[in-house]
Structure 1
Amino acid sequence: MTEQRKWVTMGDVARQAGVGKITVSRALRTPGKVSPDTLTRVMTAVRDLGYVRDETAGALSSQRSRIVGALVSTQEQSVFATTIRGLEEGLRDGGLQLLLASTGYAPETEAALIATLLGRRPDALVLTSSLHTPEARRLLDGAGLPVFELWELPEDPVFAAVGFSNRAASRDMTRHLADKGRERIAFLRTDRPADTRAEMRQQGYLDVVAEPRILAVPPDPGLTGPDYGAQGLARILDRWPDTDAVVCVSDTLALGAWCEAMRRGLPVPQRLALTGFGDTDFAGESGIGLTTVRVDGDTIGRTAAAMILDATAGEDIPRRTVDLGYTLMLRGTA
């Protein structure tokens, strides 16, 4: 019969170190208040036994879990990586830890995860979508927590938002193509009805183009972002063979479209201009030299972290949006 394993307790550490549990607690929380010899024995016992401090009792007494829940739309792309890094590092500096989950662009999944996270009594919530089900909004409004929506600027934020105008960024990029003489511009996206950022970027494109050519690739669990881009460009050229520019909703779709253009022997940008969104690693001059929109994800994350720390410290944080803007990166593909 397999032996049932149990958590290592503070009492186990105390016995190993030859001290009382109060001394162990003091050594872990205020090490300067115990002698160097005692501290060495306690920490040696902690290391040897693999002890992890139980924070649940402290959370119950202080009404703080020191956890921030974060729900991102996807973890399959690196677009949110810098935001999560900035958020995590900023929170860590203030003694808070990040609990991360992915919604897969599904509002119903987001609602279920919000309920799960609220059961953990987080100090704050971070979301990367502004489209919430009525149930999710009810939970968020009733939680009494600071809720931060990132990467968008919703008109009615739950609490506060940190991001930029997706619509304006796409509008500026499409106008750049028009100013360069492109007359038959298509827009390529994936067909996710709950992808609010894609919808706003499409609206920015429509602000400029009089005769739109929009193609949304149906979702397929077997496809990656570049797969969507390659299939999308093939369908655009089949339907509108005279297309001379494609605005892609993301860099990963633009990468797939670029590869498809290379396979077809279509010179980029001479015959076909391509743009992306996100300025991911491969987009730079060391990669494919993609014309794209740069968003400072790290600053978005750190700004949100600073606001969370202020809010959880008891400061009055007004319901507001913080617009951090964007930059058009004009490179060789357009």
Structure 2
Amino acid sequence: MSKRQPRIEEVSRIAGVSASTVSRFFNNPGVVADETARRIREAIDQVGYVPNLNAGSLASSRSRIIAVLVPDIAQSIFNDTVEAMIEELTAHGNSVMISLTGSDNSLLDRQIDAALSRRVDAIILTGVVTDAATRARLKNHATAVIETWALPDDPIQIAIGFSHFAVGEATARFVRERGYRRPHLVVPQSSRAIERANGFTAAWTARGDEAPTAQPVSSPSHFGQGRLAFRGLADMDPRPDVVVCGSDWIAQGLIVEANAAGIRVPDTLAVMGFGNLRLAGDMRPTITSIDIDGHQIARETIRALQRKAAGEVLPPRLPVDFRIIARESA
């Protein structure tokens, strides 16, 4: 014999609230008072109730599924942002579908089609869609689309992020103020890292200085690239006094290799990273890095989805903060 499924009315009776309050708890936990939410959770655990979210989504035309598309999750600078975003989204009653698009976005179209076919409420992208046909398709679709980690001039719908060019400019000013005069850039071949390098070069040459030397590396970046980048410095004359890396992973590898060669960082060679990953504060020396407020991106994304669902007209570009975290390496 099949077991009887617990009903929402049993939860509401045990919790001492109406069935509609229990329904609100599942759809949007944040609107239910803390004490009421506690009683509802205890009642759910007691009877083993599992809500039928399909019924609610059919009635409201909302799936409460959010697709988050990221290039990769191994050694990714997006991890903290995505983790914060998932925490915020699930706290507001959503389910999150994470899809990997590949470092070169080779799987982007396939993952977008998969998300749209599941009638997701929103697609959140960690980056900017550059393919014109894909952008046009998303612009013409009713699904909310939010591009994060960048501020394109013409967002698909809403962009929540920062200017990578401005990050490069700020990094160049920081390097100059620290007294370094021979910068070298290690640049992953992604549009975002290239834009930061362009910003650095523009700010550096604006006062008549020669353009910094640069070494391209593949994307996504990883520890080994830093080790190879350090070995390449031996052939440079004059050698740089500061290396600006496209990620903290590269900076870590470069510092490890410098230490092994007896080169003191930053006394002989200064190093900067990007992303302010947890390893940046754990290294010795600690790594000077660019911090992006991933939690602010997550909060602004949630707020934008809520405002859009309420019918508000939002500005297409919502900037978030970045800052340079000065540590021992530069």
**TM-score clears 0.5:** yes
Find the aligned partners of 2:313 and 2:92 in 1 and give their Cα distance: 17
Moved more, 71-80 or 151-160: 71-80
Aligned to 1:100, the other structure's residue is in SS state: strand
Find the aligned partners of 1:156 and 1:219 in 2 and give their Cα distance: 25
Give 1:328's match in structure 2, choosing from 306, 324, 328: 324
1:27, 1:33 within 8 Å by CA — same for their partners in 2? no
Q: 1:188 to 1:77 in 2, by over 3 A?
A: same
Find the aligned partners of 2:127 and 2:83 in 1 and give their Cα distance: 18
- For residues 239-285 of structure 1, the C-alpha deviation after alignment (integer angstroms, 9 at most, x for no partner) is 45612111001111110111111111111111111001111112126
- Deviation (angstroms), 1:71: 0.6
- The one-letter code of the counterpart of 1:254 is A
TM-score normalised to structure 2 length: 0.82
Find the aligned partners of 1:111 and 1:29 in 2 and give their Cα distance: 44
Give 1:135's match in structure 2, choosing from 129, 133, 136: 133
Find the aligned partners of 2:149 and 2:42 in 1 and give their Cα distance: 46
* CA RMSD of superposed structures (Å): 2.8
Partner of 2:301: 304
- For residues 95-152 of structure 1, the C-alpha deviation after alignment (integer angstroms, 9 at most, x for no partner) is 2222111212223311210111011111111001113323321331122122111111
Partner of 2:256: 259
- Deviation (angstroms), 1:25: 4.7
Partner of 2:178: 180
Partner of 1:197: 192
Q: 1:320 to 1:41 in 2, by over 3 A?
A: closer
Please give the residue correspondences for 1:33-182 in structure 2 after superposition, counting only pairs within 5 Å: 33=18, 46=48, 53-182=51-180
Aligned to 2:107, the other structure's residue is in SS state: helix
Higher relative contact order (CA 8 A, sep 6+): 1
2:233, 2:239 within 8 Å by CA — same for their partners in 1? no
2:11, 2:47 within 8 Å by CA — same for their partners in 1? no
Partner of 2:265: 268
- Deviation (angstroms), 1:317: 3.2
- The one-letter code of the counterpart of 1:262 is N
2:151, 2:163 within 8 Å by CA — same for their partners in 1? yes
Matched pairs, number: 302
- Deviation (angstroms), 1:13: 2.5
Identity %: 27
2:287, 2:329 within 8 Å by CA — same for their partners in 1? yes
Unaligned runs of 5+ in 1: 1-7, 18-23
Please give the residue correspondences for 1:12-23 in structure 2 after superposition, counting only pairs within 5 Å: 12-14=3-5
- For residues 134-182 of structure 1, the C-alpha deviation after alignment (integer angstroms, 9 at most, x for no partner) is 3321331122122111111111111111112222122221222223332
Find the aligned partners of 2:219 and 2:164 in 1 and give their Cα distance: 22
TM-score normalised to structure 1 length: 0.81
Find the aligned partners of 2:320 and 2:121 in 1 and give their Cα distance: 24
- The one-letter code of the counterpart of 1:226 is F
- The one-letter code of the counterpart of 1:116 is A
Unaligned runs of 5+ in 2: 20-40
- Deviation (angstroms), 1:67: 0.8
Q: 1:230 to 1:41 in 2, by over 3 A?
A: closer
Find the aligned partners of 1:42 and 1:218 in 2 and give their Cα distance: 50
Give 2:247's match in structure 1, choosing from 244, 247, 250: 250
1:166, 1:204 within 8 Å by CA — same for their partners in 2? yes
1:250, 1:278 within 8 Å by CA — same for their partners in 2? yes
Aligned to 1:13, the other structure's residue is in SS state: coil
1:212 and 2:224 aligned = no
Q: 1:41 to 1:157 in 2, by over 3 A?
A: closer
Partner of 1:318: 314
1:174, 1:247 within 8 Å by CA — same for their partners in 2? no
Find the aligned partners of 2:11 and 2:214 in 1 and give their Cα distance: 59
2:12, 2:18 within 8 Å by CA — same for their partners in 1? no
- Deviation (angstroms), 1:44: 5.7
Find the aligned partners of 1:260 and 1:182 in 2 and give their Cα distance: 21
